[in-house]
Amino acid sequence: MKLEGTNTLPASVDTVWKTINDPDALRSCTPGLKELKATGPDTYQATLQIGIAAVKGTYAGTLSITDKRAPTHYKITLEGTGGAGFMKGEGSVDLEPQGSGTLLKWTGDLQVGGLIAGVGQRMLGGVGKMLIGQFFKCLEERLGGSA
Amino acid sequence: MSTRYTGARVTRNEDPALLCGRGLFVDDIHLPRLAHAAVLRSPHAHARIVRIDTRRARAARAVVAVLTHADLGDLGGPLPRLIPHPALVHHKTQQALASTTVRYVGEAVALIVAESRYAAEDALDLVDVEYAPLPAAVGLEDAVAPSAPLVHEDAGTNVCARYTQRVGDVERAFAGAPRRFRERLVMDRGTASPLETRGIVAAWDPRARLLEIWDSTQAPIPIRNGLAAMFGLPQTNVRVVAPDVGGGFGPKVMMFYPEEILVPLAAQRLGRPVKWIEDRREHFVATNQEREQIHDAEIALDGTGRILGVRTVFLYDAGAYCPYGLIVPIVAGTTLPGPYHVPNYHCEFTAVFTNKTPVSPYRGAGRPHGVFVMERLLDRAADGLGIDRAEIRRRNLIQPDEFPYDVGLIYQDNAPVQYDSGDYPRCLARAAEMIGYADWRAQQEAYRTAGRYLGLGVACYVEGTGIGPYEGCRVTVEPSGQVFAATGVGTQGQGHMTAFAQIVADHLGVTPRDVTVRTGDTAAFGWGTGTFASRAAVVAGTAASMAAAAVREKTRIVAATLLEARPDEIELADGKVFVRGVPSRALPLGEVAAAANPLRFAMPREWEGPGLEATRFFAPPRGTFSNGVHACIVEIDPETGMLSLHRYVIVHDCGRVLNPLIVEGQIHGGVAQGLGGAFWEKVVYDAQGQPLTTTFMDYLLPTAADLPSFEVGHEETPTPLNPLGVKGAGEAGVIPVGAAIAQAVEDALRPFRVHITEMPLSPSRVWELVAGTRRSA
Amino acid sequence: MKPAPFEYHCPRTVDEGTALLARYGDDAKVLAGGQSLVPLMNMRLARPANLIDINRIESLAYIRDDGRALRIGALTRQRAAERAPQVAERCPLLRDALRLVGHAQIRNRGTIGGSIAHADPAAELTAVLVALDGEVTARGPKGTRVIAARDLFVSYLTTSLDPRELLTEVCLPAPPKGAGWSWMEIARRHGDFALAGVGVVLAVRGGKITAARIGLTGVGPTPVRPAEAERLLTGQTPSEDLWNGAAEAVRAAVAPDGDIHASAEYRTHVAGVLTQRALREAWERAREAA
């Protein structure tokens, strides 16, 4: 599914850029991320436990940052496989200054396969959007904004 | 011979046991030391298998064995190709377990055998498979585009076949035609959803070298013969039983599904019986589906609405593999002309591989598509020419005095499509009368004035049934007087235990309750091809009749000896055998059977052998053609797109009706499936080939609460092609439903000028169509 | 479809139940009717290590009318509530909504508390709770608390209940006597998840609407209470124009997701249509009662 959105963050482009590249920030803001271990520059081994309410799946996979054009653009890919299926989220992030803050524009392609896709089509889109929303809300809070 | 039971509404022999839970389905088979299997299935629509590591799974609690392709040995090659065809260039079948590539979500990758299904499923999580996902060809039109990812790389194309059927000169007909209309018609994927999913139990006796299989299949004898060949066993050392089967509808005819090889193999290797029962979620990916076709069709007519020619070019979705060949698109193409004079016809299809569950026939097997296209074209023409819809059909119908009528095409059995008998105008007239066609416009106006949108739809069809190659039956009278009839077709709810019993009972002067019919056990009867294509009553029924007639003759010969009369003086009635006119000197039938098997002394030469038993085969030279007309009244709420079915009328002609109760049951079931395919049932895949409808939450089967009562009118034009005069009726109900509903919905929404060219519909889609025309108005 | 292994617990009292939840809360699920949970477990989408079966806690099944509200024990079976005379008398909206929850067989096992705690985005009961400004009582390691409907539903299948809390009671304030009500929904088949559903209560005096309550389901991650639509209706004289205005306000208040069964546009549109029809019906009933 294709998703997109914009967020206004209360910090300069440079600060935002640093934050979205900071493994600490990624570790604490990515919903369900249990483990993030660097295996190379901009590549991490990831363990995710994602779901909603009782429906949870554990996914083991990778998080990687590519196509870096500091300090305004990169692609971030999170993919994993697990018992409940597999998932692959590819996001393209663009930053531009807006006043004293930053306008963050993202477009993403979220693929969910396996059991969850076959059974949860009713809510997948909404839940996907919600989880991505959680990610940005967390970033916002980290950068000193309020919910 | 009496005709007391043939044609009567006899309640079914099979029902008391089934209704009281005393049926025997494959999951009811319990054997000592039974182990349970689960299948690891691909989560990707298209991927290379890089690595499979089964160590963790093999070490798991209660796991007995884990098989991957590497363990299959001689059984690792592509599974058999059924029904080859010269046009089928790439006749691809899957392997029992994928080796290098998976091509649809659900393809079998590994088999786990454990002490329980619970433990087997626990172990599924522990098989480590590394996949390298590949782009998937999903949409039918996308798959045929030049840039599409290849489902089978070595084929170099996703087109597995191209085939054209022609009658007359369609180019000339269209060139000179005063009126032409065209339509693009899209029919989407569906799945049969039998109440009972698939399942198989296998047991291997190493001492007797006997392989015993219980399989929820529609074709146990081909399975037996195929397994014997694959396992290098004599056919007589393999027994396949299709016990009670909770619905088949087509997809249970295969040779083989992977599990039908894997489970016997596991049983042989492990020296323990193994059971695999498909769960519902698996069923939605691992059992064959059907119904996806896109037609670009055109009709040419003269000014009075007479058909000059019909042309269709269509895409057919074969899924990832095409084990069953081209039956579905060929049947679609040969069904399209229907009950009409179509002097010039061109039907061209392209069969396309996609990375989705493989396709094989599902009730109707392409006939619904042929009918949908033809009926929609006629409706378009009726609108364009200002002719009443029923009238334009009347003007084109083949007349009762034109039989046998050669359509000019070759049917799925490689024999000409030649309609043997029928009275098409009569069926249309009766359906029109039953639905109240004459008064409809006035009624509709009254509804519209009250702000309600109701519509009427009527659709005609001809259905090829009763094809060969053959079926057989052995009828035996035991000394108890009980009669047994064994045949090779299987039963999945068609009432064979009753219909065949009726036929036999009439020949032998007993009641249907006195006749026990056995089907689906290769040990009871080992010759036959299976239950499909609406053929069992025609072919096996006729064989049963022939065998029972032979037993009757033998009875008369033996009784003549016993009663010192001539055979032609002997009568059979009420379970007794007697000389005509002397009922007091009657012998019970069983006594004659006992006497026919003497222990001592010479046997009369005219008996030609012991016992009251005969085996006969019927091999019809070609199929026989049933027909019918459906008419319905629906109501649509244009604000919500919701559909309400007010009335559904079915007039059908399947020749001589053996048991109206059973035929009505078949029709009701077929219509219900047809209505499902018209407004509820759709198998959906996302752009990556992920199936999104793998539960009944999302694959919607209409229930009794959603459907009206059905009104059935029986017509009978017996066929000259078999002594019983019967034609097939198994698939009839489903065939014209989409066409009738499309017409009815369009009729209901006439003020909005909505155009229905797709199946299935949904409330959201109907509303979209209404809202769309409102906006552009 | 066999569940993953789990430990089974069967408390007999609420205290035993909450003690188990306190201990296992992070990896436990409460089993009440099981109509949602058991399929999730069989499909291995949910793999709680502990299953706490509360079906033997009989003290949790009751329906009481305290004069102001209906107090329904969490374990009350939906079918029992559907047929209870107090419900028909004091809160017919609940009865009508319950009739469309799945099928009778499901309602024989499903519970009032279970449906609310499960918070399916297309559930009927959550919309009824929100429309009537209901509340739930929950008991956990930190004691007992009352949660208002507006604070209860957080997102898809997610409430503000702590995993260690047991929902014990659902409280529905009864609409005033003579109020009209209506529940309408669109589902593809009898008993299916609603594509959109609306519950309406109209209190009426002197030919004018004194209070309007609307609750919608199937139009977002949580049930929706369209404040603007209610405001538009309050104090007004019913008319087709008024219903149309309310319908438009409802459409502006919802942002449903589309899925394979119905597009987002359809659900939005139909939410408005159902609102109009429900308001009409509620008004008729209020008039009849007068």
Q: How many whole angstroms from its chain centre is CA A16?
A: 14
Q: Which residues contact B263 (CB under 8 A, 6 or more apart)?
A: B37, B111, B200, B201, B202, B274, B275, B276
d(CA A119, nearest CA chain B) in Å = 6
- State residue A119's pLDDT score: 85
Average pLDDT over residues A54-72: 90
> DSSP letters of C91-144?
-HHHHHHHTTSS-HHHHHH-BHHHHHHHT-TT-HHHHHHHHTT-EEEEEETTEE
User: How many C-beta atoms lie closer than 10 Å to residue B707's C-beta?
Assistant: 15
d(CA B68, nearest CA chain C) in Å = 22
Q: Please give the Cα distance from C158 to C120 (Å, whole number).
A: 8
Assigned domain for A77 exists:
yes
Using 50, 70 and 90 to split pLDDT, how confident is the model at A55?
A: confident
Nearest to C290 by CA among C198, C158, C179, C194: C179
> B106 with B206, same domain?
yes
> What is the residue type of A52?
I
- State residue A147's pLDDT score: 39
Of B43, B285, B697, the CB nearest to A86: B43
Q: Please give the Cα distance from B174 to C142 (Å, whole number).
A: 82
- State residue A145's pLDDT score: 56
Q: Give yes or no for residue B185 having a pLDDT over 90.
A: yes
The residue of chain B with its CA nearest to that of A85 is B43
Contacts of A60 in chain B (CB under 8 A): none
Average pLDDT over residues A3-29: 89
Cα separation values, B481 from B597, B612, C21, C107, Å: 14, 11, 67, 51
Q: How many domains does chain B have?
A: 3
Assigned domain for B292 exists:
no
Assigned domain for B768 exists:
yes
- State residue A140's pLDDT score: 83
Report pLDDT digits (tens) over B338-370: 999 999 999 999 999 999 999 999 999 999 999
Of A81, A86, A117, the CB nearest to B686: A117
Domain-terminating residue out of B262, B286, B310: B286
Q: What value does the mean pLDDT of chain C take?
A: 96
User: How many C-beta atoms lie closer than 10 Å to residue B774's C-beta?
Assistant: 12
Q: Which CATH class is domain C63-173?
A: alpha beta
Q: Tell me: cis bond preceding B80? Omega within 30 of 0 counts.
A: no
Contact present, B383 and B349 (Cβ < 8 Å): no
> B600 with B556, same domain?
yes
For residue B370, the SS3 value is helix
Q: Please give the Cα distance from C110 to C79 (Å, whole number).
A: 8
Assigned domain for A18 exists:
yes
For residue A83, the SS3 value is coil
Domain that holds residue B649: 378-466+623-776
Using 50, 70 and 90 to split pLDDT, how confident is the model at A146?
A: very low
pTM as predicted? 0.95
Q: Range with the lowest mean pLDDT among A44-58, B43-57, B640-654, C125-139?
A: A44-58
Using 50, 70 and 90 to split pLDDT, how confident is the model at B743?
A: very high
Q: Tell me: cis bond preceding A97? Omega within 30 of 0 counts.
A: no
- What are phi and psi for residue B40, nearest 5 degrees? -85, 125
> B410 with B530, same domain?
no
Global ipTM? 0.95
Average pLDDT over residues C12-36: 94
Contact present, A85 and A114 (Cβ < 8 Å): yes
- Does B205 touch chain A if contact means CB atoms closer than 8 Å? no
Contact present, C250 and C226 (Cβ < 8 Å): yes
Q: Please give the Cα distance from B339 to B342 (Å, whole number).
A: 9
**Is A122's CB within 8 Å of B691's CB?**
no
- State residue A131's pLDDT score: 85
CATH number of the CATH domain containing B390: 3.30.365.10
Q: Give yes or no for residue A123 having a pLDDT over 70.
A: yes
Report pLDDT digits (tens) over B232-260: 999 999 999 999 999 999 999 999 999 99
d(CA A71, nearest CA chain C) in Å = 34
Using 50, 70 and 90 to split pLDDT, how confident is the model at A125?
A: confident
Residue keyed to tokens 């000014």: B303
C-alpha triplet B620, B626, B629: angle, nearest 5°: 175
Assigned domain for B273 exists:
yes
Contact present, B185 and B313 (Cβ < 8 Å): no
Average pLDDT over residues B476-498: 95
- State residue B477's pLDDT score: 98
**Is A130's CB within 8 Å of C45's CB?**
no
Q: How many domains does chain A have?
A: 1
Of C45, C158, C260, the CB nearest to A119: C45
Contact present, B80 and B323 (Cβ < 8 Å): yes
d(CA B118, nearest CA chain C) in Å = 5
Average pLDDT over residues B252-269: 97
Burial of A12 (0-12, 13-18, 19+ CB in 10 A): middle
> DSSP letters of B257-319?
-HHHHHHHHHHHHHTS-EEEE--HHHHHHHS-BB--EEEEEEEEE-TTS-EEEEEEEEEEEEE
- State residue C16's pLDDT score: 96
Domain boundary assignment for chain C: 7-52, 63-173, 180-289
Residue keyed to tokens 């999580």: B125
- State residue B1's pLDDT score: 63
- State residue B744's pLDDT score: 98
Q: Give yes or no for residue C40 having a pLDDT over 80.
A: yes
d(CA C120, nearest CA chain A) in Å = 10
> B495 with B599, same domain?
yes
> What is the residue type of B348?
E
Assigned domain for B366 exists:
no
> B472 with B604, same domain?
yes
Beta strands per DSSP E along C174-277: 180-186, 196-205, 208-217
Tell me which architecture the domain covering C7-52 has in CATH. Answer: 2-Layer Sandwich (3.30)
Burial of B347 (0-12, 13-18, 19+ CB in 10 A): buried
Q: Which of A77, A81, A110 to mutate to test the interface with B (most CBs of B within 10 A)?
A: A81
Using 50, 70 and 90 to split pLDDT, how confident is the model at B309?
A: very high
Q: Please give the Cα distance from B208 to B216 (Å, whole number).
A: 25
Domain that holds residue A89: 2-139
Average pLDDT over residues C187-195: 95
CA-based radius of gyration for chain A: 15
Q: Please give the Cα distance from C82 to B297 (Å, whole number).
A: 53
CATH number of the CATH domain containing A135: 3.30.530.20
**Is C47's CB within 8 Å of A56's CB?**
yes
Share of chain C above pLDDT 70, in %: 100
- State residue B308's pLDDT score: 98
Tell me which architecture the domain covering C180-289 has in CATH. Answer: 2-Layer Sandwich (3.30)
Q: Which tokens go with C236?
A: 């007004």
Q: Give yes or no for residue A57 having a pLDDT over 90.
A: no
Orientation angle between helical segments B389-396 and B367-385, nearest 10 degrees:
110
> B596 with B696, same domain?
no
Report pLDDT digits (tens) over C99-146: 999 999 999 999 999 999 999 999 999 999 999 999 999 999 899 999
Q: What value does the mean pLDDT of chain B take?
A: 96
Q: Which tokens go with B614?
A: 């005969």
Assigned domain for B258 exists:
yes
Instruction: Tell me the helix, strand and coil percentages in chain A, rounded to 5.
Output: 30, 55, 15
Find chains touching chain A: ≥3 CB pairs under 8 Å: B, C
Contacts of B764 in chain A (CB under 8 A): none
The length of chain A is: 147
Average pLDDT over residues B613-631: 96
- Does B676 touch chain C if contact means CB atoms closer than 8 Å? no
Of B639, B702, B706, the CB nearest to C273: B639
> DSSP letters of B719-759?
-TTSTT-B---SSGGGTTHHHHHHHHHHHHTGGGT----EE
Contact present, C138 and C102 (Cβ < 8 Å): no
Contacts of B639 in chain C (CB under 8 A): 270, 273
Contact present, B267 and B187 (Cβ < 8 Å): no
Contact present, C209 and C196 (Cβ < 8 Å): no
Residue keyed to tokens 């029928």: B422
Orientation angle between helical segments B327-335 and B367-385, nearest 10 degrees:
30
Biggest CA pair distance of chain C: 62
Give the strand pairing for B758-759 and B179-187: parallel
